[in-house]
């Protein structure tokens, strides 16, 4: 057995159990962890020398949570409910044994304690946290479609009451030490060098090793009867809010509320069993599997640069250039400077470049006013941004990000100016959202150095960067571009070159279908509401306005120019052209799009839509499910074509890109996880139905998907398909 726990008993009778997983930077929970914990706890409880127990960690964090590899095995292993319950109860009952073992236990939290790690601490009789950078505690399981399964919901309930526990659990709140102390989830916060002495001092004070809820007469703080008027109102309001915000696509929030509702009426041991049953139910639901796979497993691998070419030394970028100081360029400069990188921010004149730096200053000053950052740090960040109109300042940069207007000629012009002065090995990165990288690279003298870095707006908030490999992009440039994304603490996905790459064409399929339905006379409010009900954060018309109808119009014009006779405009292009060219409606930016925008921030659908595209009578409107399927399956079909054509080389990139880049419903886990969940055969059948009824092109599926359905293949798991090799034909 791997020994995760170091056991030491001092002369004063204090036993220190130090969690120290061998050959790992963190402690993670798996079967070896639980076996070691049980053995160490049993030993301490049976040891007559031991008067009290300190539980602490030798790592920089307390316990990092579940072992991702073990999680992945569970996902693909299809365990039955009985096995899952036994596994869950083994952990929960172990913590209960620690709680009722008759010897006081103090958790000495030397670093972050989240999820199962904090559940261990909650089962201790006292919790002390070190006041160190990055210290947080909490139960964030709802974020991956689960709930705390080792007593977290029931101990929160009994420690702070349902009114405080419910929002913390539903939001998956990660609390800083002072807030956790204020709530009563921590008992002390001390300097790091005082952590173990403080734990020892508490134990030597002869503390009571019996929790309040194990004593006669205990009452849940704030009341334990859900029929009390204030609590009944709380639960009714919560249920209504969950319906309004999630449409019950996410089962975890409702399960958490149910755990508290039922648990407050039961003794602690029975309540823990109820919690365990809900935990198992969520584990068996595909929503949790999809979210765990995409948010935890796939994203973790992407953050580790799993797609980075091997055999190339890591590049630490000290100084970069950003060409274009508009919204995107200013955002890239801001994030780079925040992460310690010097930035040469270039625009057509000094005033424009200075305006780009002012964007960073404005954001930082607001953060400083809110107490989120010190004045010294603000000045240090701003000192790293060097606005100029002089390209000669790029002489010592290792990477350039072009973030100018979405026009092939303009991009070629700024690349040429940069190429004339940057070092020979500098990466030339284009922040285009749709123009093929191969074509842009051909305008330079060093196409092997050109790569696409598609950032999302606003750059400082959006976690994703789509990294595009052109036909001639070299491994070194690609590796160094990925290193840059990692320095920005963002998640990269890697795609091969194509018009629109993956994310733009993927969100485009959603927008195209929504806008096309407007042209068909379908109620715009139905289109928007159906999208929200499916799990999209906003509807197709809203996101069109946010992106800018004028940008979509110009993009369509650029595509028509590039492709000539081969151009096949989307069904929505006619609508967009009418809105922009005829009626001057550019979207939110000029207050006129599919919506009308008021000065106070309010909005309503533009009544003129009915004049341009007469609405069908109510009796001829489609049902909600049909509208939902048109938008969802248009995206699924496009994602399948992307992987069949080699634009995507792994479904994980598509799932991460869909969920973190363009708002694909998170509970589905991305388009490929969604297709596995629905069933490949069912996806083929529904796309064929929609293609026959509406448009053969928009719902066309590749032969790969039909072959997968026939052979019982999936995108994940034991029967996963191997994606086709990278395409070799030219990219327009």
The answer to whether the CB of 309 falls within 8 A of the CB of 451 is no
* Residue whose token pair is 């198992």: 280
Rounded CA separation 452/585 (Å):
30
47 contacts 9 by C-beta, under 8 angstroms: yes
Measure CA of the first residue to CA of the last residue in the chain; give whole Å.
58
Give how far Cα 193 sits from Cα of 7, 127, 132, 185, 662, Å.
21, 16, 10, 21, 45
In contact, 401 and 321? CB cutoff 8 Å: yes
User: How far is CA 398 from each of CA 58, 240, 395, 405, 596, rounded to the nearest angstrom?
Assistant: 38, 53, 9, 23, 45
Q: Peptide bond before 458: cis, by omega within 30 degrees of 0? A: yes
3-state secondary structure labels for all residues of 428-476? EEECCCCCCHHHHHCCCCCHHHEEEEEECCCCCCCCEEEEEECCCCCHH
Q: Quick check: is 141 catalytic?
A: yes
Give dist(CA 479, CA 260) in Å, integer.
Answer: 48
- Residues 224 and 201: their CA atoms lie apart, in Å, by 34
Is 460 annotated in the active site?
no
Rounded CA separation 365/610 (Å): 45
Q: Are 10 and 46 in contact (CB under 8 A)?
A: no
Q: Distance between CA atoms of 428 and 421, rounded to whole angstroms? A: 12
Q: What is the dihedral of CA 134, 137, 142, 145, to 10 degrees?
A: 70
> Active site residue: 141, 402, 419, 513, which one?
141
Q: How far apart (Å, rounded) are the C-alpha atoms in residues 25 and 129? A: 20
Altogether, the residues listed in the chain come to a count of: 732
Other CB atoms within a 10 A radius of the CB of residue 317 amount to 21
Catalytic residue among 99, 119, 466, 528: 119
- Among left, alpha and beta (phi > 0; psi -120 to 50; other), residue 548 is left
- Per DSSP, helices labelled H in 468-548 are 475-487, 503-519, 524-534, 540-547
Q: Of all helices (H) and strands (E), which one includes residue 633? A: helix 624-644
Name residues whose C-beta falls within 8 Å of residue 494's C-beta, 6 or more positions apart in sequence.
307, 467, 469, 478, 482, 649, 653
Q: State how far the Cα of 123 lies from the Cα of 152, in Å rounded to an integer.
A: 9
Contacts (Cβ under 8 Å, ≥6 apart) of 637: 509, 687, 698, 699, 700, 701
| 645-664: b (≥16 Cβ within 10 Å) or e | bbbbbbbbbbbbbbbbbbbb
Residues with catalytic annotation? 119, 141
């Amino acid at each position: 057995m791997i020994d995760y726990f170091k056991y030491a008993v001092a002369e004063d009778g204090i036993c220190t159990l130090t969690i120290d997983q061998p050959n790992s930077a963190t402690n993670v929970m798996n079967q070896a962890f639980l076996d070691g914990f049980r053995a160490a706890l049993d030993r301490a409880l049976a040891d007559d020398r031991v008067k009290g127990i300190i539980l602490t960690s030798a790592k920089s964090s307390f316990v990092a949570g579940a072992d991702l590899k073990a999680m992945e095995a569970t996902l693909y292993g299809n365990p039955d409910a009985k096995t899952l319950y036994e596994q869950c109860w083994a952990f929960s009952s172990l913590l209960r044994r620690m709680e009722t073992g008759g010897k006081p236990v103090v958790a000495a939290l030397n670093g972050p304690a989240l999820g199962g790690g904090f559940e261990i601490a909650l089962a201790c009789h006292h919790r002390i946290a070190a006041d160190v950078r990055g210290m947080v505690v909490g139960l964030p399981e709802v974020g991956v479609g689960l709930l705390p399964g080792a007593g977290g919901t029931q101990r929160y309930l009994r420690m702070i009451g349902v009114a405080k526990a419910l929002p913390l659990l539903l939001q998956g709140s990660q609390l800083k030490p002072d807030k956790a102390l204020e709530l009563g989830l921590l008992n002390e916060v001390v300097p790091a060098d005082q952590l173990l002495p403080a734990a020892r001092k508490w134990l030597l004070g002869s503390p009571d090793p019996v929790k309040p809820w194990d004593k006669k007469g205990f009452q849940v703080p704030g009341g334990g009867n859900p029929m009390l008027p204030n609590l009944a109102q709380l639960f009714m309001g919560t249920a209504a809010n969950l319906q309004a915000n999630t449409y019950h696509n996410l089962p975890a929030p409702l399960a958490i509320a149910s755990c508290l509702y039922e648990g407050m009426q039961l003794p602690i041991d029975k309540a823990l069993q109820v919690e365990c049953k809900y935990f198992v139910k969520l584990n068996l639901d595909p929503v949790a599997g999809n979210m765990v796979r995409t948010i935890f497993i796939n994203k973790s691998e992407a953050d580790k640069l799993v797609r980075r070419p091997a055999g190339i030394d890591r590049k630490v970028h000290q100084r970069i250039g950003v060409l274009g100081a508009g919204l995107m360029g200013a955002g890239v400069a801001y994030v780079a400077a925040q992460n310690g990188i010097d930035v040469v921010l270039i625009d057509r004149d000094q005033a424009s470049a200075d305006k780009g730096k002012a964007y960073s200053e404005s954001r930082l000053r607001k953060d400083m006013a809110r107490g989120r950052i010190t004045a010294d740090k603000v000045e240090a960040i701003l000192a790293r941004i060097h606005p100029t109109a002089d390209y000669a300042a790029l002489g010592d940069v290792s990477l350039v990000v072009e973030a100018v207007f979405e026009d092939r000629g303009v991009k070629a012009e700024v690349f040429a100016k940069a190429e004339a002065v940057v070092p020979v090995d500098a990466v030339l990165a284009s922040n285009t959202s749709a123009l093929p990288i191969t074509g842009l690279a051909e305008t330079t003298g060093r196409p092997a150095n050109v790569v696409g870095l598609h950032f999302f707006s606003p750059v400082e908030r959006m976690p994703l960067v789509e990294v595009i490999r052109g036909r001639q992009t070299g491994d070194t440039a690609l590796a160094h571009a990925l290193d840059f994304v990692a320095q920005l603490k963002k998640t990269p996905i890697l795609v091969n070159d194509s018009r629109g790459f993956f994310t733009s064409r993927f969100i485009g399929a959603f927008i195209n279908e929504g806008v096309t339905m407007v042209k068909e006379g379908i109620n715009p409010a139905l289109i928007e509401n159906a999208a929200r009900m499916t799990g999209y954060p906003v509807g197709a018309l809203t996101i069109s306005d946010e992106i800018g109808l004028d940008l979509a119009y110009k993009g369509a014009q650029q595509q028509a120019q590039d492709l000539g006779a081969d151009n096949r405009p989307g069904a929505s292009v006619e609508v967009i052209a009418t809105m922009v060219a005829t009626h001057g409606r550019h979207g939110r930016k000029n207050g006129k799009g599919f919506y009308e925008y008021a000065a106070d921030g309010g909005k309503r659908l533009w009544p003129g839509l009915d004049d341009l595209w007469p609405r069908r009578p109510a009796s001829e409107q489609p049902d909600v499910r049909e509208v939902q399927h048109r938008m969802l399956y248009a995206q699924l079909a496009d994602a399948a074509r992307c992987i069949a054509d080699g634009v995507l080389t792994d479904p994980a990139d598509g799932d991460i890109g869909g969920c973190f880049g363009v708002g694909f419903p998170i509970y589905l886990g991305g388009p490929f996880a969604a297709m596995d969940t629905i069933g490949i055969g069912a996806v083929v059948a529904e796309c064929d139905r929609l293609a026959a009824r509406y448009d053969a092109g928009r719902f066309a599926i590749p032969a790969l998907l039909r072959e997968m359905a026939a052979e019982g293949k999936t995108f994940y798991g034991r029967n996963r398909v191997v994606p086709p090799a990278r395409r070799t034909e030219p990219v327009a």
